[in-house]
Amino acid sequence: MKFESQILAALFVACFGVCALVMGAMLKTTPTSVQLASTSKVAAVALVAPPSCTLSTDGANCARVND
């Protein structure tokens, strides 16, 4: 019974160590921030729209061309 208890304790320590390393890595890393909101709607559309698509004044969408 002593051997099984030592193996179980060693497994617990190993699992706890792996869990602590993974949790530490998740909490330490900081993702790069992405600005999704823009103060100007035209600037936001200009960033998303392809260069071949021009903005029309009547509100019509740009048609996609199959490549």
What is the predicted pLDDT for the residue at 46? 53
What is the predicted pLDDT for the residue at 32? 73
What is the predicted pLDDT for the residue at 9? 96
Backbone angles phi, psi at 30, to 5 degrees: -120, 120
Buried b vs exposed e over 28-51: b needs ≥16 C-beta within 10 Å? eeeeeeeeeeeeeeeeeeeeeeee
What is the predicted pLDDT for the residue at 2? 94
High-pLDDT (> 90) share of the chain, %: 39
Find the mean pLDDT for residues 39-54.
56
Which is higher by pLDDT, 56 or 28? Answer: 28
Find the mean pLDDT for residues 45-59.
56
